[in-house]
Every structure is written in C-alpha cells, then in structure tokens.
Amino acid sequence: MIRKRIVFLVVPLAFTLAALLAAGPALAAKGPIKIGLLTSKKGVLAKHGSDQMNALKVFREKFGDKVAGRDVKFFIEDNESKVALAVTRVRKMLTRDKVHIAMGGLFGSTGYAIAPLADRYKTPILIWSCPDDISKRKRKKYAITYFSCSQPMHAFAHWVRTAMPNIKKVITIGPDYAFGYESTGGFQQVFEDMGGKVIQKMYMPINTVDYGPYIGKLRKDADALFLTLAAAQGLRLPKQLKEAGLANKYVILGNGTNTDEFVIDAQGDEVLGWISALIYSADIQTKDNQDFVKAFVKHAKKDPGYYAEGYYGGLRLIYKAIEVVNGNVEDKDKFFAALKNLKVAKGMPAGPRASDGHGTFKMNVYVRMVMKDETGKKRNKVLAVIPNVSQFWNYKPDEFMKKPPYSRDYPPCKNCAK
Amino acid sequence: MTFWLTQIFNGISYGAIVFLLAMGLSLIFGVMKVINVTHGTYFLVGAYFGLTTLKQTGNFFLAILIGGIAIAIMGIVIERVFLRRLQGNDLGQVLITMGFVLVLQDAILVIWGPDPVSMDAPKFLASTGRIGGFSFPMYRLFLIVFAAVTAVALWFFESRTKVGSSVRAAVDDVEMAGGMGVNVPVVFSLVFGLGSFLAGMSGVLAAPWLGIQAGLDFEILPFAFVAIIVGGMGSLKGAVVASLLVGIIDNLGKTFFPEFAYFTLFLPMAVILAIRPSGLFGRAM
Amino acid sequence: MRGELLATRGRVIAIAAVLVFASVSPLFVDEFSVLVLNQCLIWGVLALSLDLMLGYTGMASLGHAAYFGTGAYATAIMSATYGASFGEAFLVALIAAAVVTAICALVALRASDVYFLMITFALAMLIWGLAYRWDSMTGGENGIAGIDRPLIMEDTITYYYFTLVVAAGVFLFFSVLVHSCFGKTMVGIRESESRMRALGYNVWLHKFIIYMISGIFSGLAGFLWVYYNSYVAPTDVELVTSFNALLMVSLGGPGTLAGPLLGSTIFVILDNSVNMFTERSLTVVGCIYIVVVLFAPEGIMGFIKQLRTKVGETDNG
C-alpha cells in the first residue's frame, strides 16, 4: 500500500526534475560577453540558416572569440522557420543565457514579433530581418534593425526611372506578408513619385505551390514585372513564368532576394537578365568583399549571399560597438547607444555603414543583373552602386513617418483599374 | 476565352499532380484505414531519389521509376514493421506516421542538405506549345497525359485483374475479404507499396515544375487530403473527379478571390463533409 | 475498500505535493525556468481538455489546434486590434471557442472511429486556412504581435501564478467531472456505445457536451498561450500543434488526469532543451512518437499502473 503512494510521488518527482533541468547556473560576476544568435536550421528557411552559420564560422575565424579584451560566447538558437517559435527562443536567450545582445530573425514578421522582447528585458537586439516600422513608427528603446526592407527598393525605383526610362508600367508581385508589402511599397512609392505607374499588384501566400492562376492574370500591357520572392518562391515562380512563355515578355525587376546566392545555383537560365537590388552581391569588387567571399567559399563551397553577408556584417557591427564601450557591455544603455550611433567605414563586405539616428543604418545599395561568368556560373553582376542610402530615401523623415506604413493596401494602386 | 482556357488547363494540370498524390493516400486509407500523414514526405523524398538518379544517369524517366520504387520499398518496410502491429489502433497509426514525417525530414537534411534544388525535365518537354492563340507549357500537358494514363492503368488493375479485385474487396470490407480467401496481409503490403510508389513518382514528376525544397511536403499534402475527403476514401473515380475539382477550384479561387486562397478550397470540402461525410464517391459509413 | 481509501489519500497527497512544488519552486529558479513551467501548465490545460475526449470518452480528435487557435486568435484580435481588456478578451475567447467547437462538433459527430479522426483533421485544416488567409482579421502570415498583459500581471512570475490558479481550477473541475455520474457515462461510451444506447442514454448528446467542454477549455489554453507569448501566428494552429497535443496525452497516459500534465511537462522540457544537446531534434521527437505508440500505448501512467499490479501480485503471493 505504501508503494501506491510512492507511485503517486512520481508526478511531483517529474516536476522537480523539470525544475532541476531548467534551473540554470548562477550568473558569474563578469564572464564572457554573450551574444545570442537566432537562425533557422529546419523548414523552408533551412538554407538561409546554413548560409548564416557558415558566415558565423568565417567571422569567428577572422575576428576570433575575443573582443576588447574579453572572451565572447555565442548562443545559437533555431526557430525552425517558425515565427512564433522565434519568440520563445529569443526569450530563452534573454532570460536563461542572459545574453548581452541578440541578433537574428529571417522573416520580416519575425522582427515585429521579437522586437518587444528587447524592451521587456532591456537587452539590445539587432534585428537582422528588415521590419520597416521598427526603425520608423514603432521604434523600440533597445532594438535596431540591420536595414529596412523598403530601403534598397526606394533607391532601386529611382535607378529604374533614371536608367530605364522606357519602363513606365509595372506589375508588382510579392509574398503576402510584411516583407512583401514593404519591398513592393518602397518600390511603388518612389516609382510613382517619379512618374511611373504600377498597374497591377498581386500578393500571394509564401507557400504557394502552383503560380499558374496568378501568371494567367498578368496584364499584357505592362513593361516590366517587379517581383519580391521569398523562400521557395524563388525556385518556383521563375520556372513557371518560363513555362508559360512569359520569361522574355517582360523586363524582370525585383528584390535581390529573388536571385540571392542562397538559391541562384538551383535556378535555371530563366533568371538570366533579371535585374534586382539589395544591400549586397557576392560580385562586389572591393578587397573587403573579395576576402570575405574567398573565406566563405572555403566553408560553404558556394558564394555568400545577403543572408551570409548580413550575419557577418551584423556581428561586425556588434564587435565594433563592444570596442566602443571597451567591453563594458553590462552597461546596456551605453552599449546600445554605441551600437545605435555606429559608423563603420572599413571591413564590411557590403561597404560602409553609418547610423541614421532613427534605428537603422545608411548603406550602399547595389543594382545587380544575373549574368553568366566565363565559367558558366550565374552571378549577380553589379550594374550600379547607390551610396549611402537612407531608409527614408530623399524624403524628410518626419513627413515620411506621417504617412501610413507600407501594407497590403498602402500605397494604394491608383492605376490598377483597367 | 484564352484566359479561361489557360486557367482551366492550369487547373487540370495541377489536378494531375494532386491526383497522383491523392490516389495513393486514398488507396491506403480505403484499404487499411490509415491516415498516412507521411504521404507528403514520401512525395518529397521521392523527388530527392529522382534527383540523385537523374544526376547519375541523366535519364528522366528512369528517375521517375526509381523515385517511385525507392519509396515503395520504404513504404512496404514501414507498413510491415510498424503499421501492421498497430492494426485497429487508428490513433496509434496516425501518430506513428507523424513520427516518420519528422524522422524523414531530418534524414533529408542529413543526406541531401538544406539546399533548394531544381531538376530539369527533358528538352522536348521544357518548351511551350501553341494551338491558335492558346499557348501552354508542354510539361503541364505531359503531366496531364501521364496522370490520365496512370488512372487508366489503375482502373484496369482494379477492375480487370485478380489482384485488383482482391484490393477492391478489401476496400469494401477487409474482414469479409479475408473470409473469402483474400490474403489480407499481402494485399495490405501491396496497397501500401502501390500508394507509396505513386507518392514517390509524383514527387519526381512535380520536381521540374515546383523545385525541391524542405517544407514542400506540408505545402502539397493539404491538397491531397482535400481531394480524398471530397472524392471519398478508396475510390478511384472519386480521386479523379475530386483532384480535377481541387485543381480547377484552386485556380479559379486564386484568380478571383486571391485573398481567400485555401479558403475557397477548404470551404467546399467542409460543405461536402457536412452533407456527405463519406465524400462524393465514397461508400456511406 | 481500505485500499481504495488509501489510494485516494495517496492521490490527494500527490496532488498537494505537485501544487506545493508548483507554487514554491518559481521563487527559487531563474526566469527562464518559470517560463518553461508556465508553458508546461498551458499545454497541460490543452492536453487535459483533449484527454477528456480521447482518453475518457474514446473520441480521438486530430484537430484540437483549431479550438486552441480559435481561443488564441480571438484573444489576440480583441486585445491587439480592438484594445479589449484582459477580461473582455477572456470572455470573447471562450465564446469564440464555444461557437467554433459547436459547429465542428455538429459536423464531426456524424462520424466515428477513423472517419472521426479524418473529419476533425479536415476541420482543423479549415481553421488553419482562415488563420493563414483571412488577412484583414488575423494578419495572415504576419500573425498578430504586441499583445500586452495587464500591468498587474506584467511580470513573468505573476502571470505564472495566474496560470497556475487557472490550471489547478481546470484540474479540479475535470476531476469532479470524471468522478461524477457524467464521467461514468463517458467511460461507458468509450467501452461500448451500443450498450449505453441500449441502456437509454443519449449518446450523441453526451458526446456533444464532452466535445464542447473539451473545445472550450482548449480555447482557454489558447487564451493563456497568447498572453504568454504576446504573439500568435498560423503556425500555432497548424497540424503539428494538434499532433503534439495528442502526443502529450499519449505519452503521459490517456484516460488519466495526471497523464496529460505529465506528458505536457515532459514534452515542453524536451522541446526547450533537446536542441541544446543535438542538431537532430527532429529525429528525437520523431522517435518519441514512434516509441510511445509502439511500446507505451497507455503512456507513462499506464506503465506505472502495470508496475503497480505486478508489485501487488507479488505482495499477495
């Protein structure tokens, strides 16, 4: 009979075990500097995550696990390509690992989901994905972004209007979530301000399998398509455009993620001639970048894309900020202020960065075209560099922020009706 | 006119892939009453096997065959070793297929890595066909023909061969079939093997069109489930009709109500479920 | 007779021990541990609700993420979009869960056995489709972020205690329920529907009521989850969530009240720790599914029961 009672004790025992397992080591007075890194090792973004992890290897090889005289320890968490899980994982970094700073986020929406945690736990987060509003209308006290999704697209639209004046009417296609709205919105805003017309806008679920219905609806009177493709879309839409016989019907413009190096080797020749813009291309001819590419290829056996450079660059910014505060990351306000006001001229593969005072950085935007090099490999050849681009482009920040954020319905499509 | 033709043609071709996937699911459910959640992952793993074959031999049709056979073997092993022990335990069977989903997804990461990959169809299928003002991708036409031939072959197998009639008997009533001298364990293996073969094969067939990437399994699986729920489990006719419906409704739904993609597909399913839980062509429960 | 009394006493002691532990331990561990324990409780409520159907009544639902998700989304929409208070969101979440459950139950209860599994699965897919595509309401792929708890519950520990009280209430309610006449009827339906029907019970109505209770409490778990995570997305409603809930119940032991809690505790801890030890967390979880189904169909509690019977036998012999 006593044994029965023992049996019932199994449950509390399990709980105790749970707590023991969960109970963490006490925080040492001044141990290493702890950096939390969020990535995705499984699911639709597994490849992006593996590029990031290789970039981390390159970074550690070059800069080591030591900065400003203190050791650095990395805490890597995998959110399995799920935004909701990112919240849980980042919260773990902040409460258990007690990281001094966290970086990460692959979907634009991840940024919006994790940003509030920065303020809640008063720990800086460098949000790696590019949620527009975190550096604009929904500023956080302790979160900044690596860049803003619409930022390269403003510049790109300007470039298109200037360099390709024959492109007047454009159809936009993008994934149906924050990243798609912000990329499309940024392009449309400047493109239309400069006299161009967006005549059709389409947003589609990111996990769309068959694009047939959308392709069948494309208006024939457009000069170009502006595409924003995320995850597997970059693999499917180009193929399906080609098989519909439309690959040469329109000039294809778009976000650099369309043909980013994470997917370009898997894409067919149908993407040749596609023009896109982003904050990086493996083809940038500076020494900083060529060194980075060489080191990256050694680990990954392929070129780095913006997912790789972004991780490397983000870590570089974090190290710089640590140097500015002489390793005293425990003073979070000072540390974050240093990060927020950073100006890095050298050593970044994608070129200089300078704080814009609004929660993100000014940087170069690269206009690239997919071409084959002499070995027959597809590359994002740089056509133009637009230097020092602000997230507000040439608009006045205050006026810009008075307008609604880019969304499914904004900017409205004035020229969509036939 | 061309617009409608294009949309319907696209719908049918998508329905063709859905049919090949759904037919296996439907057979497995019809005979063994197993909700095989692994089916989408079979599709994906089949595509990877096909890819490896294509890289080694350069023969696309061999790739389709190998993709199918590899998955058939895998399916039969899973059925023999695991599912058979759980006969009659509906929930256990579903849960274990979920376990295999996770294990296989991880195996893909280990064996083939996280890279998205594409696969090229033979040159003659990669062109664009044209009839009058109506242009269509050859590959989609190929898919439709392939699925149609498969459907006819399955129909022949089911209605004209002795093995097929045992399968049909098992769909109707497993116990009765056993009593009538049908070797039920063999039929189970056969059905599971055939269903898995269809899944693996359709994965390879879809690869030149959809690409191969982690996550594809759960992107395509819902369509197959909708098809078998609407069509009725275990019914070949039901799978054909419902897959075409799924393809066309999905196409027209996305065309006219892009905001409600999925919903335009799931709503008819819910209505059919409410009115006729066994599906359009399924036997009443 | 004496044995039963002792067993009851043992049960009470065990429950008291868990309660004491659950209320005292947060004071001694770090914040993350409290967060993990909080997760255990929330998923525990979901698993308990599911077990009411699965374990006690023999209705295996493959779509409980739908009711959980309805509660979660209703809360998020009320709180983030309409600025509703905690209490208002609570009410709306439960009502929404009740309405959705009622509709689903009406459809699903027309079938039984594996067809019931299939229909609940299909209905959950529909709800997922709504969460994923009803953009203006649910935010689609973006999900809904920025759901803040009321100030008094802002910090982790207070919210943990709130959840603990709710979970304890649910546990208490369920244990009264399963030990009542109604509970006996549930088990009767599980064992033989036709016999219950012959005895003059309205089996359909019983099943409907149980379905409703289960759905509403799953919605409650969704409500708790949203205020815990301050974010909701379609992945919360997807198939995997339904499966995980089933795994928790099966792992702990269906048809018991301690089982689901135990199962959810183990699952949550694994989920939060396994990737610290291995990159192959998918395989680990996959193998747990396989092993539980093959070797522990009655879960850990069933295993314990078996052990106890054996010990009892040697005692008598």
Q: Which residue has the tokens 């991708």?
A: B137
| pLDDT for the residue A2 | 46
| pLDDT for the residue A25 | 42
Q: Residue A10 CB: number of other CB atoms within 10 A? A: 17
Contact C282 B269 (CB under 8 A): no
The first and second tokens of residue A88, run together, are 């849980």
The dihedral region occupied by B36, where left means phi > 0, alpha psi between -120 and 50, and beta the remainder, is beta
For residue A6, pLDDT beyond 70: no
Give the integer Cα–Cα distance in Å for C96 and C220: 10
For residue C218, pLDDT beyond 90: yes
Give the integer Cα–Cα distance in Å for A235 and C128: 25
Q: Give the count of Cβ contacts less than 8 A between chain A and B.
A: 119
B6 pLDDT band, cuts 50/70/90, is confident
Concatenate the DSSP letters of all residues of C102-150 into one string: HHHHHHHTT--HHHHHHHHHHHHHHHHHHHHH-HHHH-GGG-EE--PPP
Averaged over A163-171, what is the pLDDT? 95
Of B91, B101, B102, the CB nearest to C117: B91
Give the integer Cα–Cα distance in Å for C100 and C219: 10
Go through B263-282 and write b for each residue having 16 or more CB atoms within 10 A of its CB, e for each that does not: bbbbbbbbebbeebbbbbbb
**Contacts of residue C289 in chain B, CB cutoff 8 Å?**
95-96, 98-99, 102
Contact B135 A245 (CB under 8 A): yes
CA B184 vs. chain centroid, Å, equals: 23
Interface probe with A: pick from C9, C130, C132, C142, most Cβ of A within 10 Å? C142
**Contacts of residue A131 in chain C, CB cutoff 8 Å?**
none
For residue C48, pLDDT beyond 60: yes
Closest to B47 in 3D by CA, of B174, B201, B250, B220: B201
C315 pLDDT band, cuts 50/70/90, is low
| Amino acid making up residue B142 | F
Contact B223 A209 (CB under 8 A): yes
Give the integer Cα–Cα distance in Å for A136 and C112: 54
Element (H, E) at B125: none
| pLDDT for the residue A22 | 53
Interval A170-191: pLDDT, tens: 999 999 999 999 999 999 999 9
For residue A19, pLDDT beyond 60: no
Give the integer Cα–Cα distance in Å for B33 and B94: 10
For residue A20, pLDDT beyond 70: no
Q: Residue A26 CB: number of other CB atoms within 10 A? A: 7
Interval A91-148: pLDDT, tens: 999 999 999 999 988 887 889 999 999 999 999 999 988 999 999 998 899 999 999 9
Helix (H, G, I), strand (E, B) or coil at A102: strand
Interval A28-49: pLDDT, tens: 457 899 999 999 998 888 899 9
Higher pLDDT, B128 or A141: A141
Averaged over C69-86, what is the pLDDT? 95
- Decide: pTM greater than 0.80: yes
First to last CA, chain C: 20
**Contacts of residue C39 in chain A, CB cutoff 8 Å?**
88
Give the integer Cα–Cα distance in Å for A138 and A112: 9
Q: Which residue has the tokens 């040749």?
A: A272
The dihedral region occupied by A7, where left means phi > 0, alpha psi between -120 and 50, and beta the remainder, is alpha
| pLDDT for the residue A27 | 39
| pLDDT for the residue A108 | 77
Q: Could you tell me which residues come within 8 angstroms of residue A118 by beta carbon, excluding any fewer than 6 positions away?
A: A102, A124, A125, A140, A141, A142, A143
For residue A21, pLDDT beyond 60: no
For residue A7, pLDDT beyond 50: no
What is the percent of chain C with per-residue pLDDT over 90, rounded to a whole number?
Answer: 65
Give the integer Cα–Cα distance in Å for A267 and C93: 46
Looking at every residue in chain C, the average pLDDT score rounds to 90
DSSP B212: B
The structural domains of chain C, ordered by start, are 2-316 (1.10.3470)
- Range from A262-271, B67-76, C119-128, C147-156 that averages highest in pLDDT: B67-76
- Phi and psi dihedrals of C196, rounded to 5? -65, -40
Looking at every residue in chain B, the average pLDDT score rounds to 89
Burial of A352 (0-12, 13-18, 19+ CB in 10 A): middle
| Amino acid making up residue A69 | G
First to last CA, chain A: 83
Interval C92-111: pLDDT, tens: 999 999 999 999 999 999 88
For residue B282, pLDDT beyond 80: no
| pLDDT for the residue A1 | 43
The first and second tokens of residue A84, run together, are 């909701």
Looking at every residue in chain A, the average pLDDT score rounds to 89
Give the integer Cα–Cα distance in Å for C231 and C225: 9
**Beta bridge mates, B140:** none
Higher pLDDT, B103 or C272: B103
Closest to A154 in 3D by CA, of A395, A381, A357, A350: A395
C314 pLDDT band, cuts 50/70/90, is low
For residue C69, pLDDT beyond 90: yes
Interface probe with B: pick from A210, A249, A257, A302, most Cβ of B within 10 Å? A210
Interval A238-247: pLDDT, tens: 988 988 888 7
Give the integer Cα–Cα distance in Å for B205 and B193: 18
The interface predicted TM-score (ipTM) is 0.90
Element (H, E) at A122: none
Chain B residues with CB-CB distance to A under 8 A?
A: 3, 6-7, 10-11, 13-14, 105-106, 109, 113-118, 120, 126, 128, 135, 137-140, 208-211, 213-216, 219-220, 223, 250-255, 258, 261-262
Give the integer Cα–Cα distance in Å for C315 and C317: 5
For residue A315, pLDDT beyond 60: yes
The first and second tokens of residue C118, run together, are 């299939």
